[in-house]
Copies of this chain bind each other. A is one copy, B any other.
Amino acid sequence: MNNVAPYLIISADTHAELPTERYREYVDPEYREDFEAYLAEKQAAAQAGGFIDEEFAQTWFDEHGEGIAGGWDVAQRDKELDGDGVAGEVIFPDADAVTGVAGAPFGAGLGQSGDLDPGRAMAGARAHNRWLSELCSHSPERRAGVAVIPILADVDAAVAEITRAADAGLRGGILIPVLWGDYPPYHDRRYDKVWAACQDLQMPVHTHVGPAPSAEYGEHLGIYTTEVRWWGARPLWFALWAGVFERFPALRWGATECGAFWANDLLWLMDTRFLREHSAKKMSRALEGDLTMPPSAYFDRNCFIGATTTERRELARRYEIGVPNMLWGNDYPHPEGTWPNTRKWLRHAFWDIPIDETRQMLGLAAAEIYHFDRKALAPLVERIGPTPDDLGQDDAVSIPKWEAARQAGRHWLTDTDPLADLVEN
């Protein structure tokens, strides 16, 4: 049965937004005038060009224009998700990752940072969140919308918007800025009100890849591509070492589309420092701070990775990262995702992964974190979900293949040799 039942697939990373000018009616009246000025600025900036290859952009729109409209059109959106075999989705802002002409008002999307004007940032976030909750009201069982929340300048206003967003049905949680600019970093207790609200309302906190200190890079886009995932994930270890997950044991925290390749090393590094292996012996007791468990224990309980288009080399590390901590996503409708060829990508990435683990990473882990109603989704899954057979999987091959690696697990905790999987084979 397990071998033939189709997969419940939840994309833990999709994007939706309106073309910017269509946000007009969602903007608070006192910011409407500002909004017109912002539209003009944005138009001018787009003409100046940016980090996008123009030729690629032209081809992308020529070939995928209809599907891209699913960034805001819900009927088209469902058609595209169905085509990819994706039953549920966790929706972030910024559907247009190519031209950047669309986008939530006042830059209140993935790129929000401490550099934005606080009033405008919150007005833009509110406009986007209002529209997003409308989008999610269509087939709500499929959609967990993530509210954009600028938490840096005004913590109380942030908590108010989190509460409003939860009431409006945005059960995907919140997106916070990756870069805090001149505001206090996320170890600061001033943000505890935000974490408390998110814990109470069962709203996962997210950072999402995108922002980086680009002013340092000059014209060298390669530096950006090399570092940007690190900047996106960084807030997680600020929160962890500051005891946020000790104080808020039911809070969930995700790093989305930052890759997963670094996560096993991060856990190894943090655990071995905490456990004072040789190289950390000299550190003062301030190292542990308020933590009562090794960092990987908080990671397992509180954190997850929106791993998006998982790479083969990332899947190979899943026993150190934790299988249910890796949430696959198709990044629809971004060109760097797997849409519209997800079925092919899944076969390529997962063909030799055990079926139960695949179920976790493709959907069950996300269903638990975001409270998807699996029963409500069952008929859709039956209709569109690919089967293990479609992915070319065979547990008779896959399970023995990985057995040694599975048993080694986190070798630094199990006292096995880190090369045990190689040794055993």
Contact = CB atoms under 8 A, between A and B. Distances in A.
- Stoichiometry, copies per complex: 2
A47 interface: no
Contacts of A97: 282
Interface residues of A, number: 75
Contact of A222 (B222, B273, B425): B273
A45 interface: no
Given A185-B216, A405-B422, A421-B422, A52 B282 contact: yes
Interface string A269-282: 11001100011111
Contacts of A311: 418
Contacts of A425: 422, 425
B336 A279 contact: yes
Contacts of A295: 222
- The A interface, classified by DSSP as helix, strand, loop or mixed, is helix
A269 B224 CA distance: 11
Interface string A284-297: 11111101000100
A185 B53 contact: no
Interface in A86-132: 97-98
A225 interface: yes
A217 B335 CA distance: 36
A352 interface: yes
Interface stretch (A23-31, A135-143, A237-245): A237-245
Interface string A175-191: 00000000001011000
A283 B280 CA distance: 40
14 contacts: A50-B284, A60-B282, A185-B218, A187-B223, A188-B218, A220-B242, A223-B238, A227-B237, A265-B265, A279-B336, A311-B418, A313-B411, A316-B422, A401-B422
